[in-house]
Chains A and B, each alone.
Chain A
Amino acid sequence: KAGVTQTPRYLIKTRGQQVTLSCSPISGHRSVSWYQQTPGQGLQFLFEYFSETQRNKGNFPGRFSGRQFSNSRSEMNVSTLELGDSALYLCATQDGTSREQFFGPGTRLTVL
């Protein structure tokens, strides 16, 4: 089985811009979660989607949003980028039987 894929792998944006990140889950995985990883805050949960519905949301401002498509692929969007949004954004998909979550390689976002 192919693993979790994330595109793009690297992004450089400037303050005020918006960005869209994409995640393709492992085949058969219907749950997709997004995490932000920074040196200061560690790994923080953004939100989780299952069957095109957001089931869980972390404590991030409304500038962070996501969606899931009928094929379970997911996108997250960050609007009005701030310097503090520079981070590694990770997508994880879950095996519904074992509850194991598998992470993609991440998208490294740099906001200048």
Chain B
Amino acid sequence: QQQVKQSPQSLIVQKGGISIINCAYENTAFDYFPWYQQFPGKGPALLIAIRPDVSEKKEGRFTISFNKSAKQFSLHIMDSQPGDSATYFCAANDFGNEKLTFGTGTRLTIIP
């Protein structure tokens, strides 16, 4: 019940397009959903996070959409740029339990 399922495994998007990565969770106790970006040889960097009391959160070109009833959340990257090429991880945890449960990652490639 701790699983977080992430799709797609890899994604190729043209420069200027919209990149969409989806995650689904099972544990209804989860109440914090961050997204991380990881470049080769680096640690994951926190991009944006959402709590289930809102359905959408936007920071610059990055937007999280959250559907509590479907237990799904997604990351949208608008106007995708080559510098966005990285691996993206969704994650979740519940209050009082600092263990983050991660999705399996999406390797995003932005082509010119």
* Chain A residues packing against B (C-beta within 8 Å): 4, 6, 31, 33, 35, 42-45, 48, 50, 55-56, 58, 90, 92, 94, 99-106
List, sorted by A's number, 26 A–B pairs whose CB atoms are closer than 8 Å.
A6-B43, A31-B98, A42-B89, A42-B102, A42-B103, A42-B104, A42-B105, A43-B89, A43-B102, A43-B105, A45-B99, A48-B98, A50-B98, A56-B98, A56-B99, A90-B43, A99-B49, A101-B34, A101-B98, A101-B100, A103-B36, A103-B43, A103-B44, A103-B46, A104-B43, A106-B43
CB distance from A68 to the nearest CB of B (A): 13
Pick the contact of B42: A31, A101, A102, A105 (CB < 8 A): A105
Let me know if B45 is at the binding interface, CB within 8 A: yes
Which partner residue on chain A sits nearest B89 by CB separation? A43
- Interface pairs A-B: 8 shortest CB-CB: A103-B43, A43-B102, A45-B99, A105-B43, A103-B44, A106-B43, A48-B98, A56-B99
* Main SS at interface, chain B: strand
Let me know if B97 is at the binding interface, CB within 8 A: yes
Further 6 A-B residue pairs, CB within 8 A, beyond A92-B100, A100-B49, A101-B46: A31-B98, A33-B99, A42-B102, A42-B104, A44-B102, A105-B43
Let me know if B32 is at the binding interface, CB within 8 A: yes
Chain B: number of interface residues, binned into ranges: 20 to 34
Bound Cα distance A34, B41 (Å): 17
Task: Find out whether the CB atom of B34 lies under 8 angstroms from the CB atom of A45.
Answer: no
Bound Cα distance A90, B45 (Å): 12
Bound Cα distance A29, B102 (Å): 21
CB distance from B23 to the nearest CB of A (A): 13
Pick the contact of B98: A6, A33, A105 (CB < 8 A): A33
CB distance from B27 to the nearest CB of A (A): 14
Q: Could you say which residues of chain B place their CB within 8 Å of the CB of A31?
A: 98
